[in-house]
Amino acid sequence: MNAIRFGTDGWRAIVADQFTMENVRVVAQAIAAYTIRIGQKEQGIIIGHDTRFLGRRFAQEVAGVLAANGIRTYLAHEAVPTPVAAFGVKHFAASGAVMITASHNPPEYNGIKYIPDYAGPASPAITQAIEAEIQRIMQGGEVLTISAEEAASRKLLQTIVLKPHYEAHLRRMIQMDVIRQAHLRVVVDPMHGSGRGYLSCMLAEAGVEVRGIRDTADPFFGGSLPEPQEQHLTLLKQEVVKQKAALGLANDGDADRFGVVDRFGQYLSANAALVLLARHLIKNRGLRGRIVRTVATTHLLDRLAQRYDLELVETPVGFKHIGAEMLRGDVLIGGEESGGASILGHIPEKDGILINLLLAEMCAWEKKGIDQILRDVYDEYGELHSTRLDIPVLERRRQEQLLQAPPAKVGPYVVEEINRVDGMKLLLRGGHWVLIRPSGTEPLLRIYCEAASAEALPVIAEAVGDWFS
């Protein structure tokens, strides 16, 4: 049996290969043992799942194991987004949550995210403790389990409804009256995931004319990846133009990530959206606090922070690092280029539903299209251009040599500084940069490039590609 490892954001594997009922029970037993060891057995654990194949059945298996260990379990009554399960932890003072999801991975995958009592991604220390329990169990430890019926009869299993509590919280986070006055038309695309019925209902409540697409549960996600990146949002682009909508808003399979399309059907990167959101919170809402971004996220946030005399914090890749900063307090917004973000007053977990609502609020507040607001930002702060290259992992020794011996130049641009917060980040003369790091979820090297001009970006990208050829 291959080792069960928690990557950047939980354990993911192919269903019926490594992601089996037996292995799910092993992970559940490890989480039960960890919960008992830290003295939180009496607080109970929330269990959620998204719309993936056998999601509810896997969730029930987790419930049976936790209940057999004497831990009270609260099973969500339907598929729920990851941020909703995380909010439930905080709202009900649970010891944590187990979320059955593979997020934006292909349909054949499923996975498990463990969310501790602070309602954010599990820290490396916590996942290492759970992995140690997994290894102990796999080497001969016992897995306890009972049926759902027996768990319910022992009053250790209860069905719970999370949506009303989460929506009540969002009403406190979002300026619903501002959205109501704008009479927006928005196309919503939950990509057949567990976010269906969340964003669309909140927007409709705020008086938005909502057109939904891909809003039915489908474990095959319509034959596409449930990832709100440009290449997977063709239908949303087309529908926005067809409906003459102000915005197109999407979420991934478990709705912790967001995707945005403007009124012309043009995709906006998460980098651009994060800058817009930070500016909205500062300029329109009058809020202040630290701006936190990962090492792979745009430096345009740095310019914004400097303009408003705010602290800018750079973290390794992975929202768990942003969440850790949020737990320390005074974070206005934390985000990553892959489409995850959260803000002041919310849980330290990425939430694509909240972020999409804030983008609608921003457009309503400024009475402009999101493309016009972005142009205002570029006029004030300048424009940065970014791309990402995925390169198959090289032979390990060769890869280490390349990462340990960086070049003096990337193309014509001199390397002025090397940042090793996560991987190797080359800061180039002229305001350009390149980050090279191994993926936490796939056998790839991720290459992130950001340039101060459209002309420089392809030059830098080609030079880096040549370096790894």
pLDDT, one tens digit per residue, over 55-102 is 999 999 999 999 999 999 999 999 999 999 999 999 999 999 999 999
Architecture of domain 385-467: 2-Layer Sandwich (3.30)
| Amino acid 79: pLDDT | 98
CB 277 within 8 A of CB 215: no
Architecture of domain 11-162: 3-Layer(aba) Sandwich (3.40)
Sheet arrangement for strand 73-76: 11-14, 109-116, 96-100, 45-49, 73-76, 157-160
Note the pLDDT tens digit of each residue in 94-124: 999 999 999 999 999 999 999 999 999 999 9
3-class DSSP state for residue 275?
helix
Percent residues over pLDDT 90 in the chain: 90
| Amino acid 396: pLDDT | 62
Instruction: Note the pTM of the prediction, 2 decimals.
Output: 0.95
| Amino acid 418: pLDDT | 94
| Average of per-residue pLDDT across 163-168 | 98
CA torsion angle for 145, 147, 153, 155 (degrees, to 10)? Answer: 50
Beta strands (DSSP E) in 70-221 are: 73-76, 96-100, 109-116, 157-160, 185-189, 209-212
Q: Residue 330: exposed, middle, or buried by beta-carbon count in 10 A (0-12, 13-18, 19+)?
A: exposed
| Amino acid 397: pLDDT | 66
What residue ranges of the chain are covered by domains with CATH 3.30.310.50?
Answer: 385-467
How far is C-alpha 176 from the geometric centre of its chain's CA atoms? 24
| Amino acid 260: pLDDT | 98
| pLDDT greater than 70 at residue 242 | yes
CB 97 within 8 A of CB 31: no
CATH homologous superfamily of domain 174-381? Answer: Alpha-D-Glucose-1,6-Bisphosphate, subunit A, domain 3 (3.40.120.10)
Note the pLDDT tens digit of each residue in 373-393: 999 999 999 999 999 988 886
CB 258 within 8 A of CB 250: yes
Other CB atoms closer than 10 Å to residue 307's CB: what's the count?
12
CA-based nearest residue to 93, from 63, 119, 72, 126? 119
3-class DSSP state for residue 397?
helix
Tokens representing residue 346 in the block = 């919310």
Q: Residue 313: exposed, middle, or buried by beta-carbon count in 10 A (0-12, 13-18, 19+)?
A: middle
| Amino acid 29: pLDDT | 98
| Average of per-residue pLDDT across 237-261 | 98
CB 103 within 8 A of CB 253: yes
Between 4-8, 141-145, 390-394, 430-434, the lowest mean confidence (pLDDT) is in 390-394
CA-based nearest residue to 289, from 322, 336, 321, 255? 322
